[in-house]
Amino acid sequence: MTRISALQSARASYKPKTPPAFTAGALVDVIEGIPTTAAGDAEKIEKLFPATYGNPEIIFQKSAQAKSGTPLNVGVILSGGQAPGGHNVIAGIYDGVKSIHQGSKVFGFLKGPDGLIKNQLIELTGDIIDAHRNTGGFDMIGSGRTKLEQEEHFIAAQKHCEANGISTLVIIGGDDSNTNACLLAEYFKSRKIAINVIGCPKTIDGDLKNSCIETSFGFDTACRVYSELIGNIERDANSAKKYWHFIKLMGRSASHICLECALQTQPNITIISEEVAAKKMTLSQIVEYMAGIIAARAANGMNFGVALIPEGLIEFIPEVKNLISSLNDLLAREADAFQKITDSNEKVDFVKGKLDGENGKVFNSLPGGIQLQLCLDRDPHGNVQVSLIETEKMLAEMVGKRLKSMDNFKGKFSTQTHFFGYEGRCAAPSNYDADYCYSLGFTAAALANAGRTGYMAVVRNTIKPASEWTAGGVPITMMMNVERRHGEDKPVIRKALTELDGAPFKFFSQNREKWAIETEYVYPGPIQYFGPSEVCDLVSKTLELEQKSN
């Protein structure tokens, strides 16, 4: 047997809290609301989803009478990047369907959607589930980024679910995966294929949330891990008083992680991509803003500090966004010639020679290392992989140059750069995520039992104790609108970016000047799994501020 840590062993017996609806299991009463519409473009969404559009929201309630259920066979898929709590969603599904009928079974498709397409799956036994309760990671069955969107995928899904006797598929993923879950639900329902599809909201990025979903799971834990590390660095900075730490934080697009970590740790500088885009800031304006704070602290004798930078930043700076889009086109157009060049400097020169005007100017203003990174790494769709661009190094270098040219800067500027991302994605889930995920899993089991399809499992009121949480289902079409993606109109769940008029950003912007000039660091320390509720049962600052302002 693999050796497990003392914490994992002690944590295995933690019993996640659930909404009151599930205190006697997942055989619950279903309360239906009124028919729903869509987040936008309702007519188009209705046309695209004639079989699953318009269903009512539902809420589960503990049943007053004893009920009996029939066996359910559920298939589970983990889709996309790891997020703390995924194993607890599966444990919740398992315990949920077993509470409905002991003969129920749960199958895990391996390595994400590919497992469904290739019919690679395992039955998840009680032993497997027990070994993974309250653990981080997706290693129980693995995950993958294949998008289930083509008809051949849907045909394979039908074949492999039917071959394994699976009547409900639960897809645990982000906005894209849940959109595709809905497309699959529509495909089955409109063809009278008896397989239901349920979604669960996952992503550390925190950008799958709306009026129906309070938060995506994993965000809470990942932000606590990063905030612990940032707090430790702040304390080091304040002890040694000789470094500026530039820290890039994961989050493919939205800056929720960066904002949450800022709220938890009160660093000197935090860049929020959505604000950069709204103010149409240029790269040199960002550099100027950072250099200004560094110079002001230096004037007060403080040649140290901490700056948080969101992973997706460069795509939100309008001029860099334009540059990236021209580079994507250029590199696709000139792929053959570009591939033949082996020397890195020659690659950069090749690109320089083909960029003119504003794009050429912006490209030339970037440090050499970043120029090369922008030319190299592309995902399978030909887009820049922002997690590989070292924005923190780029800004450290550009800010250093700017400070040298400033007459009023008499201080010292030494930097350390960091990127926190993968460190947090598989952490043991906080109590919040352990409870939330297990409850989402139970909700998915109840939705399966209620024969619902095209629904997302939702658990709400989570800033309150679990005894006040509610559980239910929301038609995925209700969260959709139509957006232009890769030149086509597509139905999508709207990605939640940081709202500049939202309570978390407002609180941050009211305090950031003070945090910049003073040293008002907060050191959150590690996630606590055992001990008093005030240190173990926390909710994210973002959620707290958002919900309290509603």
Q: Which two structure tokens, joined as six digits, stand for 543?
A: 């959620």
Shortest Å, Cβ 489 to ligand FBP:
22
Stretch that binds ligand FBP, among 64-72, 203-211, 448-456, 541-549 (CB under 6 A): 203-211
CB of 93 to ligand FBP, least distance (A): 19
Q: Which listed range, 62-70, 86-94, 199-207, 411-419, lies at the site for ligand FBP (CB under 6 A)?
A: 199-207
Where on the phi/psi map is residue 218: left (φ > 0), alpha (ψ -120 to 50), or beta? left
**Nearest CB to ligand FBP, comparing residues 135 and 203:** 203
Place of tokens 């232009």: 484
Residue 75 makes contact with ligand FBP by CB under 6 A: no
Residue 252 binds to ligand FBP (criterion: CB under 6 A):
yes
Query: Residue 406 to residues 246, 295, 411: CA-CA distances in angstroms?
Result: 20, 9, 11
Q: What are the contacts of 524-527 at 24+ separation with CB within 8 A?
A: 524/224, 524/227, 524/228, 524/231, 524/264, 524/265, 525/228, 525/231, 526/228, 527/221, 527/224, 527/225, 527/228, 527/427, 527/428, 527/430
The residues that bridge with 310 in the sheet, in sequence order, are 249
Q: Which is nearer to ligand FBP, 45 or 222 (CB)?
A: 222
User: By the 8 A CB rule, do 446 and 170 touch?
Assistant: no
**179 near ligand FBP (CB under 6 A):** no
| 256 is a site residue for ligand FBP (CB under 6 A) | no
Q: Is residue 524 exposed (0-12), middle (13-18) or buried (19+ Cβ within 10 Å)?
A: buried
End-to-end CA distance of the chain: 49
* Beta carbon nearer to ligand FBP, 83 or 225: 83
| Strand, coil or helix: 361 | helix
CA distances from 122 to 75, 115, 147, 153, 441 (A): 9, 10, 21, 19, 18
Does the protein bind ligand FBP through residue 116 (CB under 6 A)? no
Whether 407 is catalytic: no
CB of 443 closer than 8 Å to CB of 60 = yes
Catalytic residue among 205, 207, 220, 435: 205
Residue 146 or 439 having the CB closest to ligand FBP:
146
506 φ, ψ to 5°? -60, -45
Check residue 180 for interaction with ligand FBP (CB under 6 A): no
User: How many of the chain's residues bind ligand FBP (CB under 6 A)?
Assistant: 13
Looking at residue 379, its amino acid is D
**Is the separation of the CB atoms in 265 and 521 below 8 Å?**
yes
Residue from 73, 215, 387, 453 in contact with ligand FBP (CB under 6 A): 387
Mark residue 306 as left, alpha or beta (left: phi above 0; alpha: psi -120 to 50; beta: remaining): beta
Cα 124 to the chain's mean position, in Å?
26
Nearer to ligand FBP, 25 or 174 (CB): 174
Tell me: does residue 248 bind ligand FBP (CB under 6 A). Answer: no
Among 251, 305, 491, 524, binds ligand FBP (CB under 6 A): 251
Nearer of residues 153 and 402 to ligand FBP, judged by Cβ:
153
Cα separation of 310 and 108, whole Å?
34
Q: Which residues contact 72 (CB under 8 A, 6 or more apart)?
A: 97, 100, 101, 104, 105, 167, 168, 445, 448, 449
- In the range 418-447, which residues lie near ligand FBP by CB under 6 A? 425
Three-state secondary structure call for residue 537: coil
Whole-number minimum distance, CB 130 to ligand FBP, in Å? Answer: 26
Asked if 310 is part of the footprint of ligand FBP (rule: CB under 6 A), the reply reads: no
Identify which of residues 205 and 315 has a Cβ nearer to ligand FBP in the complex: 205
With binding defined as CB under 6 A, does residue 205 bind ligand FBP? yes
Q: Does 89 bind ligand FBP (CB under 6 A)?
A: no
State the nearest-atom distance from the C-beta of 59 to ligand FBP, in Å: 27
Measured from the CB atom, is 222 or 366 closer to ligand FBP? 222
204 contacts ligand FBP (rule: CB under 6 A): yes
The answer to the question of residue 178 lying near ligand FBP (CB under 6 A) is no
Give me the least distance between CB of 142 and ligand FBP, in Å please.
Answer: 13
Kindly state whether residue 80 participates in binding ligand FBP, applying the rule CB under 6 A.
Answer: yes
84 binds ligand FBP (CB under 6 A): no
Per CB under 6 A, does 174 bind ligand FBP? yes
User: Minimum CB separation from ligand FBP for residue 411, in Å?
Assistant: 34
Catalytic sites, residue numbers:
205
- Using CB under 6 A as the criterion, which residues of the chain lie in contact with ligand FBP when the complex forms? 80-81, 83, 174, 203-205, 250-252, 311, 387, 425
